[in-house]
A and B are shown apart, each in its own frame.
Chain A
Amino acid sequence: MAKHHPSNDLLMEYAAGSLPIAQAACISAHLSYCDRCRRTYDQLQTVGGTMLERLEPVPVSETLLDTVLARLEDPAPLAYSGQTEASEIPGLLERLINKDFGQLMWKRVTRALSVSYLSTGDIQHEFALLRIAAGGRIPEHTHGGNEMTLVLEGGFSDGRDSYHPGDFIFRSSDDTHAPVALDGEDCICLTVLDAPLRFTSWQHRWLNPFLKLRAG
């Protein structure tokens, strides 16, 4: 059961459909782990449904009803059928990565850290999987913007707390952190960034000019 959750603000923007797609996908993946947030999301959707009911109706022409009635027997568009059974990866991610983490292209950033970029079409956010080797450390870094992280496999600790599959962490630009993967298993996280990360320790600062946001 996840212990770290998105804020109500984020859940509300998600329920109202106003989050950028990369961030919405990350929240959606968290909900597939977390009953509690799903219930909150449900209630936040009820807020939307209730507001819809209370809108001042705008008349619709009778022709539109006829058009719709005439189209009722049109074949329904094919829809993605959601989560495949017996998978521990949220269905949405499974779809973006085409099955499992092993088949992805992993790009090495440091000895302990590899990254694989996924495409959501969101040109303002990078949507990527990070793989931190068991016990490995990501050098201390900060971000020009916000970072969402969702643990998918293994776990990591940042000195404040430890995080396990399903845990969701939101960091704003002024947070500096240096996550360390827990021992025993590689840690795989989904991260959504709206600005490139910046290493703060002098040993790693030389990497900064090479770190660009891979949005899209």
Chain B
Amino acid sequence: MVENKSGDESNSGRNSGKWAVPTGRRTDEWSECLVLIGNSNDRASFTRFFRHFAPLIKAFALAGSSLSAAHADELVQEVMLKVWQKASGFNPEKAAASTWIYTIARNCRTDMFRRLQKFDTPLAADDLNIELEGEEPFTVLHTRRGSDRIKDLMGQLPPDQAQILAKVYMEGKSHSEAAAELDLPLGTVKSRVRLAIQKLQVQMDRQ
């Protein structure tokens, strides 16, 4: 069995680089690890990355117990192969390693659901991805600060709001499915989502 390292070292790495590097480049352990994988196909870094993230991807696959253990392992495999194939496209100025791998895991899970349900579509979940390109350094930094803030504020969400976000993000439920499963009116779910978005200060620049 693979031991999962606790998040302590990655957190300290992130914070130490926060103000020192004005371009917004991330210097946390996992972003650097991804850069090594991308630049030099470094298997040792990949193994380290796998040991940290595979158990989290497996937890993600099993959230809401929607996939069997065998499918969860298959998902871990697919996600980790994509990590290897796509690492050279990872830009530490734009995204945290965890957000980058979350997007891959989310898309792989969506495609796997569709495959299991024999859902026939010309589009893969990856096709719907929109990459931010040609951003001004200021915008990149601004976005970067925003995501650091989200990470810090996440632990302060009241449990009822965190619970809804977990249903939506980790279990892939729509707001109405979350409402049905938690036996709450849709309006309550929507207002908790709205409060969570305010609390996390998503889109400070909006209106």
Q: How far is the CA of A57 from the CA of B119 in the complex (A)?
A: 30
A42 an interface residue at 8 Å Cβ cutoff?
A: yes
Distance of A203 Cα from B168 Cα, bound (Å):
44
Q: How many A-B residue pairs have CB under 8 A?
A: 209
B2 touches A65 (CB 8 A): yes
Name the distance in Å between A21's Cβ and chain B's nearest Cβ. 6
Let me know if B59 is at the binding interface, CB within 8 A: yes
Task: Report the separation of the CA atoms of residues A48 and B60 in the bound assembly, to the nearest whole angstrom.
Answer: 11
Contact of A28 among B122, B130, B139, B170 (CB under 8 A): B130
Within 8 A of B (CB), among A150-197: none
A45 to B190, CA, bound (A): 18
Quick check: is A114 within 8 A (CB to CB) of the other chain? no
What is the bound-complex CA distance between A12 and B50, given in angstroms? 28
- Write the nearest CB–CB distance from B142 to chain A, whole angstroms: 8
Interface string of A29-41 (1 = CB under 8 A from B): 0011000101111
In the complex, what distance in Å separates the CA atom of A48 from the CA atom of B46?
Answer: 22
Most buried by A among B46, B101, B197: B197
CB neighbors of A among B117-152 (8 A): 119-132, 139, 143, 146-147, 150-151
Q: B16: CB under 8 A from chain A? A: no
CB-contact partner of B174 in A13, A40, A56, A74, under 8 A: A13
Min C-beta distance of A190 to chain B, whole Å: 14
- C-alpha gap A194/B10 in the complex (Å): 44
Measured CA separation A40–B198 after assembly (Å)? 12
Chain B CB within 8 A of A86 CB: no
Q: Is A68 an interface residue (CB 8 A)?
A: yes
User: How many of chain B's residues have a CB under 8 angstroms from any CB in A?
Assistant: 82
Q: Which residue of A lies closest to B3 (CB)?
A: A59
Contact A25 B99, CB 8 Å, known A72-B84, A120-B121? no
**A52 contacts which of B1, B76, B101, B114 (Cβ < 8 Å)?**
B101
Q: What are the residues of chain A within 8 A of B101 when measuring CB–CB?
A: 49, 52
Contact of B193 among A9, A21, A25, A45 (CB under 8 A): A9
Closest beta carbon of chain B to A72's beta carbon, Å: 5
Q: Does B205 contact A (CB under 8 A)?
A: yes
**A60 CB contact (under 8 Å) in B73, B147, B177:** B73
Separation of A8 and B51 alpha carbons in the complex (Å): 35
27 residue pairs from A and B, CB less than 8 Å apart = A16-B172, A25-B123, A36-B206, A42-B132, A43-B143, A43-B147, A45-B95, A49-B96, A50-B99, A50-B150, A51-B169, A58-B55, A58-B62, A61-B1, A64-B54, A64-B76, A68-B80, A69-B43, A69-B46, A71-B81, A72-B84, A79-B126, A96-B122, A119-B122, A120-B121, A121-B119, A121-B121
> Chain B residues in contact with chain A, CB under 8 A?
1-2, 4, 7, 10, 43, 46-47, 50-51, 54-60, 62-63, 72-73, 76-77, 80-81, 84-85, 95-96, 98-103, 105-107, 109-110, 114, 119-132, 139, 143, 146-147, 150-151, 154-155, 165-166, 168-170, 172-175, 177, 190, 193-194, 197, 200, 202-203, 205-206
| 19 additional contacts (CB under 8 A) given A9-B190, A13-B168 | A18-B168, A21-B114, A31-B130, A39-B203, A40-B202, A44-B202, A47-B154, A48-B99, A49-B99, A50-B98, A54-B154, A55-B60, A57-B56, A59-B1, A59-B2, A60-B54, A61-B73, A71-B81, A95-B122
